[in-house]
A and B are shown apart, each in its own frame.
Chain A
Amino acid sequence: MAALCQVRGLTRRFGGVTAVDALDFEIAQGEFVSLIGPNGAGKTTTFNLMSGLDRADSGEVLFDGRRIERLAAERIAALGVARTFQHGRVFGNLSVLDNVLIGAHTRLRATRPWAGPVAELALALWRPRSVREDYAARESEARAIVARFGDRLTPRLDHPAHSLSYANRRRLEIARALALKPRLLLLDEPTAGMNPTETAEMEALIGELKREGLTILLIEHKLDMVMRLSDRVYVLDDGKRIAAGPPDEVRNDPAVIEAYLGHSGVGRRPQAEAAE
């Protein structure tokens, strides 16, 4: 299988700290890969570098054979890389439906760059039949995506996102990312702050996305879930890759156990860390 996304020697320093240190990994088309590691290992920084929100000091990110590490975030999104955020960044004053529709922004015909801003404005104001059909198609897609979350979001389609519960905001983020019809989906701790029922529900949904063939890179602390879902797992510590391989291999790797236990291991249990 050809790699859809390759990361080579990716490095990001903040002052004296090297948050991501010469990181290498790759994700094949249709593969489910997870990044795990203790807090501060550089997982979210890696996502920021891959999605164009931060600039790498060195190294490269190839997506579909093309270097993207210097591209603006919006260009990377337009290539088909969607992401969610660790702490949730929904558009608070937009309705649930509008939030999801922003996800479909790059696929609106009226926004195509060659049209030029003035033409885009004219189309939005005049709204000929083709634009109306485009709007309607995106909206029915958005409703279908929201429906995947059962009755969690559907009854709240018109509610402003700031009125949603924390778990629902996380769901909405994933719905918004799916509306981009991504070729690569980056999920940053999708179940953070969720109770066991909600986590199980989310795991089922992510499993479903995987079965549909979506390529997914997951950051997650809930290791049971990671082990069940992933084809391969990369383990990070201090910005460096310390282990890689299928879940069963990684689980028993002494370096991983050491990283999760901490170097002294005093008073900390791996389960406690994993449950964070």
Chain B
Amino acid sequence: MNSFIDYTVNGLVIGNVYALLAVGLALIFGVANLINFAHGSVYTIGAYVGWAAITFLHTPLAVTILIVALACGALGAAIERVALRPLQGRARIAPLLATIGLSFVLDQLVQLIASPNPRALPVDLPDWRISIGGGSVGPMDILIAGVGLSSAALLYGFLRFTKLGYAVRATAQDRDAARQMGVNVDGVNSAVFAIASALGGVSGLLVGMYYNHIDPAMSFQATLKGVVAVVIGGVGNVPGAIVGSLLLGLTESYGIALFGTTYRNLFAFALLILFLVVLPNGLFGGRRAVEAEPMTGTFIAPSRALRVPPSVVAALAVGAFALPFALPAPYMLQVLTNSWLAGLLALSLTLVAGAAGQMSFGHAGLLAIGGYASALLATDYGVTPLVSVPVAGVVTSLLGTALVFPAFRLRGHYIAIATLAIGEIVSLVILNWESFTHGAMGVTGIPPLSALSYAVTSARAVYWLTLAALVAFALLQARLSSSHIGRTLRALRDDEIAARSHGVNVTRYKALAFGFAGFGAGVSGAISAHLFSYLNNQTFDSQLSLLAVTMAILGGMGNILGAVVGAVALVGLPEAFRFAAEYRILIYGVVLLALVRFRPQGLLGTV
């Protein structure tokens, strides 16, 4: 009973912190129709600004909070102005991708400036606790609750009673009408980003103080938690975001109480999927149906794909196969081997996101399934890699499709969020299903690839094997793309309603796309597992999923050759130029931002 109260208090405190994040996300979604993936980065920067103020300026708490709010508010306004305002009128997913690029840039900058190591965030708060019915509440809990409640009250007053607040609400309801009534909607956007980011930054500071721990990696999880809370409450609904946050905080806290801390995020994402499937409009968004607009979930910029003659492609492939003879350095071969494996991932993603229009932000989850399937078969069940790798492909194909299946009826941003959550769930299940996956220990001693008695271990042999797999999949995918299935996928991407009205069973074709794509990604993950000889639940993380998205966009969505080009450019080049390795994520972010802004159709054009 005592612990029940403690867990409840803890849940509400964490819920309050989530609320500060989620309210900002909801406000931004309201006026800009956008899920701001850079929100977690602002939150992290808030924590670091607070740390800097306390450490170097020795500011008292109230001043620290003020500094953080001002700095993050300015940052938010800058984000809106520089990265998002130029994208108005583009595909709805474009600004979302820009915020992902931005989060890469901001996170890496924090890491470069403040070092990737975690830091303590000392707090100067009195050391007493009040007992309540067996549980206890400390000053930190009260501070967080106080900041949470007073920000909510301030925000309510602002939205309800100020002129700018009216403008914000009008813009959220109907941007065009607001503009015609003389509302400066750009100004409103700017103000909302500033307010949301100020709240987000303060939230980061409070979390850092609560755990006495800040590190640059906290950004992504924060964004995810905020998104979960917002979806629960009903996207774009500010009071809903607060309720969703508290619900999420309590669910996590009770989940920890019952099952242990490693289950915390599993609960969060399971809750998200549950809401997306059962109540996609959230608790408070019930009245408006999920809108059915064609071409929102895709990033298909109308363009003519660059036609590369088949002879040139064949010559490139032959050149790639001959390269080990000209390039004896094993390091370069390893770099290219990684590129070919990434190419398989990009091919897989470009099929579902480009050809079929189902933007997947969780594609690394497929690699994880394939990697673990083959690794466990080879280590725990003694299956030879010659068999375990293709079996892993089939397992990934079936399991991946089954996992995404409930999300097939979602559209636009929702499918991206759902796949992101599914990717996280895969990783968390691997972490927690210890008896089968070895849990946090990971799988060690995965045997190298071998065919019968011939072990594929030399850099050259591995290079040829991965290149052969890539070429085989690219050819199969090109074949698929030119068949009636390719045409049908592109049709349902452009307009599901029209496709259904002409007899296309969209669920069947989405499943076919994910099944085919899952096989390729699964094989890529399986080969990687045997090359790495070690896997854990973080080997294939969300960042890799987002990198895959960047690769596919760089090459041109749906473009098969483009996917390979994107993989080589983003995985091969930074590794080849070693000096750039430290700045890799920064480069990815800048590339993504620049692409979305200046060349949405990618290098080779969308198909």
Contacts and interface: CB of A to CB of B under 8 A. Distances in A.
Contacts of B302: 92-93, 160, 162
A103 B502 contact: yes
A82 interface: yes
Given A73-B500, A105-B502, A160-B302, A92 B487 contact: no
Contact of B300 (A53, A72, A93, A117): A93
B506 to A, nearest CB: 8
Contacts of B498: 85, 89-91
Interface string B485-512: 1011011011101111111111010011
B351 to A, nearest CB: 12
A176 B494 CA distance: 15
A105 B501 contact: no
B495 A180 contact: no
B484 interface: yes
A120 B503 contact: no
A82 B480 contact: no
Interface string B259-300: 000000000000000000000000000000000001100001
B295 A108 contact: no
Interface residues of B, number: 34
B390 interface: no
A255 interface: no
Contacts of A120: 485, 512
A74 interface: yes
A94 B508 CA distance: 20
Contacts of A91: 490-491, 494-495, 498-499
Nearest to B298: A93
A98 B491 CA distance: 9
Interface in B483-542: 483-485, 487-488, 490-491, 493-495, 497-506, 508, 511-512, 515-516
Interface string A180-201: 1000000000000000000000
Interface in A13-52: 51-52
B129 interface: no
A108 B505 CA distance: 13
Contact of B480 (A53, A74, A124): A124
B490 A127 contact: no
Interface string B36-71: 000000000000000000000000000000000000
Contacts of B304: 160
A73 B501 contact: yes
A78 B508 CA distance: 15
A106 interface: yes
Interface in B67-119: none
B606 interface: yes
B503 A77 contact: yes
B479 interface: yes
Contacts of B576: none
B306 interface: no
Interface string A118-136: 1011001101000000010
Contact of B504 (A92, A102, A121, A124): A102
A264 B382 CA distance: 85
Interface centre among B302, B484, B488, B498 (most CB of A within 10 A): B484
A110 interface: yes
B501 A106 contact: no
A51 B504 CA distance: 13
* SS class, residues of chain B in contact with chain A: helix
A89 B504 CA distance: 15
A74 B505 contact: yes
Interface string B299-317: 0101010000000000000
A101 interface: yes
Contacts of A92: 295, 302, 494-495
A229 B516 CA distance: 49
A98 B481 CA distance: 12
A115 to B, nearest CB: 11
A86 interface: no
A125 B473 CA distance: 12
B490 A93 contact: yes
B476 interface: yes
B512 A89 contact: no
B483 A180 contact: no
Given A108-B484, A117-B512, A120-B512, A83 B501 contact: yes
B512 A106 contact: no
A108 B491 CA distance: 16
A6 interface: no
A168 interface: no
Contacts of A125: 476, 479-480, 483
A180 B502 contact: yes
Contacts of B504: 74, 102, 105
Given A91-B491, A93-B490, A77 B484 contact: no
Given A98-B490, A160-B302, A77 B500 contact: yes
A99 B492 CA distance: 11
A154 interface: no
B606 A93 contact: yes
15 contacts: A52-B500, A53-B501, A74-B503, A77-B500, A89-B497, A91-B491, A91-B498, A93-B302, A94-B487, A94-B494, A105-B502, A125-B483, A160-B304, A162-B302, A180-B503
What 4 pairs across the A-B complex have the smallest Cβ distances?
Answer: A106-B503, A124-B483, A77-B503, A89-B498
